[in-house]
Amino acid sequence: MPSITIENLTFSYPDCSSPALYEVNLTIEAGEFIVITGATGAGKSTLLRCINGVIPHFQPGTLQGNVWLDRATPSGRVPVARVSAPQLARFIGSVFDDPEGQIVSPIVEEEIAFGLENTGVDPAQMDDRIAKALADCGISHLRHRATSSLSGGQKQRVAIAAVLALAPKILVLDEPTSELDPDGTEAVLKVLFELNKNHGITIIIAEQKVTLLAPLCDRLVLLEKGRIALQGPPRKVFMHPYIFAKLGVELPAPARLAHALVQAGVLPPLDSPDAPPIPLTVEEAFTLSRQLL
């Protein structure tokens, strides 16, 4: 299973005075589920583009440092920049932040088949894989629809299904649920979680919806102006509400409740040894509250 090592990565878009990423170091283990968040313009998309090879294969700019794809080939690690984009598609699946721009086929099922055909999947398997990907994204009923006639959220689901069908080892997703309804968001995140847990697929996702992702992920990375401001397991990261406030990222409600309970004097400070763990879900927040009553 390949993992990713980012070393001293600095990237500037052409004609931009300040770099969009500045000396970023990050190691992503195979099988990890990692969430990247931060205000708009913090550099989330840029970081993902460096991982999935869009930088430098499609996006010009000045790139320093390296993104290594470890154990992808028998010969050890290779820089992403040296693997051609179609070759990378064998390891990494990418969902971009603009779902309309990534649909290339006139009919939904052809869109899902496109990547399967390119990567040489046996046609006998295609029907099953297409059906599964569509079902996972809750759009089986759209299979024969024209892609140009779909609503915004429906297009986004098609874009995700097309990448899920490829079953890549690493999934890189840039705000994939921005236009999805809560049901669709939950369904897609659940599929990602299962791929991660049951098949060891590495998930790297940029999202604003931290509340929904916190219970699912191993690690949360907060970016601020191209640098990593804070990273760690969600419960650790949520210890620092003031950093969230400073970066303009919303602290999830369950964690906020814990901090408010400390303020109200009914919980000991969260970093003290007898403090309960910070709740990540409504369920956990509810249990914590019950214990106080």
Partner 1 sequence: MPAKLTGRPLIEVRQLKHIYRSGGEALKGIALTIDAGEMIAVVGRNGAGKTTLTKHFNGLLRPTTGTVLLDGQDTAKLPVAQLARTVGYVFQNPDHQIFHERLFDEIAFGPRNLGLRGDELTTRVDSALKAVDLTDYRDRDPGELSRGQRKRAALASVLAMETAVIILDEPTSGQDYQESEQIMAILQELNRRGHTIIFITHDMELVQEHACRVLLIDDGKLVIDSPPRELFRQEQALTSAGLRLPPTAELEQRLAAFGIHSDAGTVEALAASIARRSSQITARDSFKENCSGGAAACQ
Partner 2 sequence: MSVSIEYIPTGSPVHRLHALTKLIFALAVLTISMLLSQPLPLLLLFFSLLGIAALASVSQEILSAVKGLLKVAFFLALLQVFFYPEGTVLFAPIPSLPGLSVTDQGIIFGISMALRMMVIVTSFLLFLTTTPARSTVLSLVEYLKVPYDYAFLFITALRFIPTFLEEVRLIGQAQEARAHDFSGGGPLARLKTIFPLALPLVMISLQRAERMAMAMETRGFGLPGRTYYRTEKPGAVDIMVIVALLSAVAAAVLLRF
Ligand X SMILES: Nc1ncnc2c1ncn2[C@@H]1O[C@H](COP(=O)(O)OP(=O)(O)OP(=O)(O)O)[C@@H](O)[C@H]1O
Identify which of 217, 175, 165 has the alpha carbon closest to the alpha carbon of residue 29. 217
**Binding partner selected for residue 14 from partner 1, partner 2, Mg ion, none, CB under the kind-specific 5 to 8 Å limit:** none
* 260 counts as binding ligand ADP under rule CB under 6 A: no
State yes or no: cis peptide before 60, omega within 30 of 0: no
**Cβ of residue 7: shortest distance to partner 1, in angstroms?**
27
The answer for 100, left when phi > 0, alpha when psi is -120 to 50, beta otherwise, is alpha
Q: Which stretch binds ligand ADP (CB under 6 A): 12-20, 105-113, 155-163, 230-238?
A: 12-20
Interaction mask 110-129, partner 2, x per CB under 8 A: x--xxxxxxxxxxx--x---
Residue from 117, 128, 181, 271 in contact with partner 1 (CB under 8 A): 181
Identity of the residue, 15 or 122, whose beta carbon is nearer to ligand ADP in the bound complex:
15
**Binding partner selected for residue 46 from partner 1, ligand ADP, ligand X, none, CB under the kind-specific 5 to 8 Å limit:** ligand ADP
CA separation for the pair 260, 281 (Å, rounded): 16
Token code pair at residue 192: 């990602």
Interaction mask 83-122, Mg ion, x per CB under 5 A: --------------x-------------------------
Q: How many CB atoms lie within 10 A of CB 218?
A: 16
**Cβ of residue 127: shortest distance to ligand ADP, in angstroms?**
36
**Cβ of residue 39: shortest distance to ligand X, in angstroms?**
24
Burial of 109-141, coded b for 16+ CB within 10 Å and e otherwise, reads bebbbbbbeeeebeeeebeebbebbbebbbbee
Q: What is the CA radius of gyration of the chain?
A: 20
Q: Residue 67 to residues 139, 153, 169, 218, 224: CA-CA distances in angstroms?
A: 35, 32, 17, 21, 20
Identity of the residue, 139 or 255, whose beta carbon is nearer to ligand X in the bound complex:
139
Window 60-99: residues binding ligand ADP (CB under 6 A): none
Identity of the residue, 149 or 198, whose beta carbon is nearer to ligand X in the bound complex:
149
Identity of the residue, 41 or 123, whose beta carbon is nearer to partner 1 in the bound complex:
41
**Binding partner selected for residue 107 from Mg ion, partner 2, ligand X, none, CB under the kind-specific 5 to 8 Å limit:** partner 2
**Binding partner selected for residue 266 from partner 1, ligand ADP, partner 2, none, CB under the kind-specific 5 to 8 Å limit:** partner 1
* 163 counts as binding partner 2 under rule CB under 8 A: yes
**Binding partner selected for residue 150 from Mg ion, partner 2, ligand X, none, CB under the kind-specific 5 to 8 Å limit:** ligand X
* 150 counts as binding ligand X under rule CB under 6 A: yes
* 22 counts as binding ligand ADP under rule CB under 6 A: no
Concatenating the DSSP letter of every residue in 247-258 gives HT-PPPHHHHHH
3-state secondary structure of 127: helix
Q: Residue 269 to residues 96, 123, 164, 244, 290: CA-CA distances in angstroms?
A: 40, 59, 42, 18, 18
Burial of 197-209, coded b for 16+ CB within 10 Å and e otherwise, reads eeeebbbbbbbbb
